[in-house]
Amino acid sequence: MKRRLRSVAAAGALLIAPAAADAAEIGRIRVHLVYEETGRLSDDVSGWPEMGPWNTYSGGGPAEENANDLLVLVEVIAGPEDRAGVPEGVDVVIDQPLEIRATDGEGRLISRRRFADSLLTGDDGRVWKALWLPQSTCAGRIRITASIARSTREAVVTLNCGE
């Protein structure tokens, strides 16, 4: 009897484990300054140094123009579970909620966006979703956290103002 229970438990573990590996996952997180003079987006600023540039609102540091707002873009990649039964080269529907959060250096919520409905990818199984952070280029340290299923990814950007 003990041997049979162990076999059933092992079989159950095999059925549960692949689901986590097959679920959608967070890919890249990009953070862009929104330039006010031309309406362009900057290159990804999430790779800027920890101390970050100062006074990007007035074009300071490596900013090319005045910038008060940030646009966060999060890549979601469909997992094999999402692609099951979908022919190659066809859009994929991800039926898992996505949440993107931005918090300040104290952990206080700056902004949050939740996508509870299905996410429709392109035929490559990827989709990008956005979070707008208005008047945030003097916010100091900003932590971006994106989560879907069991996948979580973070990015940090630091933007300071002052003398």
What residues contact residue 104 under an 8 Å CB cut-off, 6+ apart?
110, 139, 140, 141, 142, 143
98 within a domain of the structure (yes/no): yes
109 within a domain of the structure (yes/no): yes
143 within a domain of the structure (yes/no): yes
50 within a domain of the structure (yes/no): yes
154 within a domain of the structure (yes/no): yes
**Per-residue tokens: 155:** 């990015």
Burial of 24 (0-12, 13-18, 19+ CB in 10 A): buried
Residue 14 φ then ψ, to 5°: -65, -35
Q: How far apart are CA 145 and CA 74, in angstroms?
A: 9
Q: What is the pTM of this model?
A: 0.81
SS3 158: strand
1 within a domain of the structure (yes/no): no
Q: How far apart are CA 20 and CA 148, in angstroms?
A: 11
Tell me the per-residue pLDDT of 122-133, one tens digit each, with 9 for 90 and over. 888 999 999 999
Tell me the per-residue pLDDT of 124-157, one tens digit each, with 9 for 90 and over. 899 999 999 999 888 889 999 999 999 999 999 9
Cβ atoms of residues 115 and 97 within 8 Å: yes
Q: Which domain holds residue 124?
A: 23-159
Tell me the three-class secondary structure of 5-48, residue by residue. HHHHHHHHHHHHHHHHHHCCEEEEEEEEEEECCCCCECCCCCCC
Query: How many domains does the chain contain in total?
Result: 1
11 within a domain of the structure (yes/no): no
Higher pLDDT, 151 or 5: 151
Cβ atoms of residues 146 and 75 within 8 Å: no
Average pLDDT for 89-113: 93
Average pLDDT, the chain: 82
Tell me the per-residue pLDDT of 27-57, one tens digit each, with 9 for 90 and over. 999 999 999 999 999 999 887 766 566 777 7
107 within a domain of the structure (yes/no): yes
Q: How far apart are CA 104 and CA 138, in angstroms?
A: 11
CATH number for 99: 2.60.40.10
